[in-house]
Amino acid sequence: MKKDFRTVALIGRFQTAAVGESLRDIADFLGSRNVEVLFDEGTAASIGFGEASGAPIERLGHEADLAITVGGDGTMLGVARLMAPYGVPVVGINHGRLGFITDIPLAGWRPALDSILNGKFDSEERSLLTSRVLRDHEAIWHELSLNDVVVSRSSRSGMIELQVEVDDQYMYTQRGDGLIIATPTGSTAYSLSANGPILHPLLRGLVLVPVAPQTLSNRPISLPDDVKIVVRVVGGREPRVACDMQVFTDLQVGDDIIIERAPFTARLLHPPGYSYFATLRGKLNWQELPHSLQRREPER
């Protein structure tokens, strides 16, 4: 991976007015380091440059050495999906609330970016999922997911009935509010709230988590991530499928949703000292040992 980041795509949650000032500060900082800054159209408009000053995603993907997002996890998810096919690594500055994957706090962005621009960072590759909807054997929709694929009922309807196959083997038919197919990254998102397990992001696996199943014996199950999962809508009114809870399409009874691992990964960069377990402790309020009892490094 490149460690000389000369062109950086800067993308913010432009719907939030307070992000604009941070974006301008970061752009000025990057300029002082002789780094060329490219904005997407929405970000350029939000900080007063106008949409014409922004670049389309294709240009960002082809020209940027690094993408920096300013916002919450939702912003990071959207940008990571867009940049992953181009192999552009992504850094997340948290201007939101939760921040599982936007791990750089807003107050600490300057030293964090300084380290990363100096080539000092930790790198991770996170798996993504591709989803295709087949209707009468014809593909009518496709999308990428970094967190999860969710097949669910409408809020105005009753239960949905889904049939699941894994690598062409029948698994089960379930009735409930829906089904989550989550990556390790997404195991701390909607999947976690539905009592799914946490998967370490380096684990090559997926987890299927029923949402409010009619039969309580329908439990979450972990699978290897190289399988092909087919979810067929057997019954229910107004079903739909969502990728990362950001992009949706309506479904019909008889539709098949085919879910597979994407042929590329999302690259996430973290400043030195990043710890996945520290993130879990902070976000999930896990208990910490008193400092005096914490493990100490052996003397050299």
State the pLDDT confidence band at 19, using cuts at 50, 70 and 90. Answer: confident
Look at the chain and report how many structural domains it folds into. 2
Q: Which of 40, 73, 103, 177 is catalytic?
A: 73
Give yes or no: residues 79 and 159 share one domain: no
Q: What is the mean pLDDT of residues 130-153?
A: 97
Q: Percent of the chain beyond pLDDT 90?
A: 76
Give yes or no: residues 103 and 153 share one domain: no
Give yes or no: residues 197 and 145 share one domain: yes
Give yes or no: residues 259 and 275 share one domain: no
Give yes or no: residues 232 and 111 share one domain: no
Give yes or no: residues 164 and 191 share one domain: yes
Annotated catalytic, 168?
A: no
| Whether pLDDT at 207 is above 80 | yes
Q: Are 10 and 39 a contacting pair, CB within 8 Å?
A: yes
* Tokens (6 digits) for 290: 């008193």
For residue 183, the tally of other CB atoms under 10 A from its CB is 28
pLDDT at 1: 63
Give yes or no: residues 117 and 132 share one domain: no
No. of H helices and E strands in the chain?
A: 7, 17
C-alpha closest to that of 243 among 108, 41, 9, 77: 77
Q: Per the domain annotation, does 39 fall within a domain?
A: yes
Q: Per the domain annotation, does 289 fall within a domain?
A: yes
State the pLDDT confidence band at 52, using cuts at 50, 70 and 90. Answer: low
User: For 44-53, 85-94, 111-120, 272-281, which range has the lowest pLDDT when averaged over its residues?
Assistant: 44-53
Q: What is the mean pLDDT of residues 70-98?
A: 92
State the pLDDT confidence band at 299, using cuts at 50, 70 and 90. Answer: low
pLDDT at 216: 84
State the pLDDT confidence band at 294, using cuts at 50, 70 and 90. Answer: low
Give yes or no: residues 53 and 37 share one domain: yes
Give yes or no: residues 40 and 145 share one domain: no
State the pLDDT confidence band at 154, using cuts at 50, 70 and 90. Answer: confident
pLDDT at 198: 97
CATH number, domain containing residue 91 = 3.40.50.10330
CATH number, domain containing residue 142 = 2.60.200.30
Q: Per the domain annotation, does 299 fall within a domain?
A: no
| Whether pLDDT at 37 is above 70 | yes
Q: Per the domain annotation, does 2 fall within a domain?
A: no
d(CA 115, CA 109): 10
Q: Per the domain annotation, does 256 fall within a domain?
A: yes
Give yes or no: residues 61 and 91 share one domain: yes
d(CA 149, CA 164): 14
| Whether pLDDT at 121 is above 60 | yes
Strands 138-145 and 148-152, how do they pair?
unpaired
Show the domain range for 233.
Answer: 128-263
Give yes or no: residues 12 and 106 share one domain: yes
Q: For 232-256, how does the pLDDT look when each residue is reduced to its tens digit (9 = 90+)?
A: 999 998 999 999 999 999 999 999 9
Q: Percent of the chain beyond pLDDT 70?
A: 92
